[in-house]
Amino acid sequence: MNINIENYLRLNFTDMILILISTLLICLIAKKYFWHYVLEYLDNRKKLIQDELDNAKKSEQEAEEYKQKYAQQLKSAKAEANAILDKAREEANVQRDQIVEKAQLEAKMKLEKAQQDIETEVHHAKKQIQEEITEVAFMAAQKILEKEIDEETQKNYVEAFIKEEK
């Protein structure tokens, strides 16, 4: 079997004109009956693509606005957090100072009370010692002067003697 390629590739002027006329007729018929559908489809497609591009642009702008808004909110939240921390530190310092002042005041009051207690105890001890000295002196004087002076007079002499000693 021998295939002749020239039969397949032959170019004939008549065939070319017929093909050109048939193509032109098909285009004219398509333009007359179908072209407005094609243009309408292409216009709708163009409009749809343009709408999607516009929506994408709008979404991008909104996203940028939200980004800026949230960046600002984050910045203000950080500033607010720092302000809260500063206020808390300040309040803690004030409380610390109040606690220290209160502790110093309490220590001072306890020291004053202790001093008062000591003075009271010293006063009581002196009084007790005076009473004991008076009794001892009274007993000594009583033995010495048992028969010469009465008891009341002796006691007055001893108390006068102790008062002079002070």
pLDDT band at 140 (very low <50, low <70, confident <90, very high): confident
Q: How confident is the model at residue 24 (pLDDT cuts 50, 70, 90)?
A: very high
Residue 22 has pLDDT above 90, yes or no: yes
Terminal-to-terminal C-alpha distance of the chain: 163
| 102 has pLDDT over 80 | yes
Cα radius of gyration rounded to whole Å, the chain: 62
149's tokens: 């002076």
Task: Using the predicted structure, report yes or no on whether residue 1 has a pLDDT greater than 60.
Answer: no
Alpha carbons 85 and 105: distance in angstroms, whole number: 30
**The model's pTM:** 0.39
Q: What is the mean predicted confidence (pLDDT) over 78-103? A: 92
Least confident of 17-26, 46-55, 120-129: 120-129
Mean pLDDT score, 41-70: 94
The token pair that represents 12 in the structure block: 């004939």
* Contact partners, residue 158, CB within 8 Å, separation at least 6: 134, 137, 138, 141
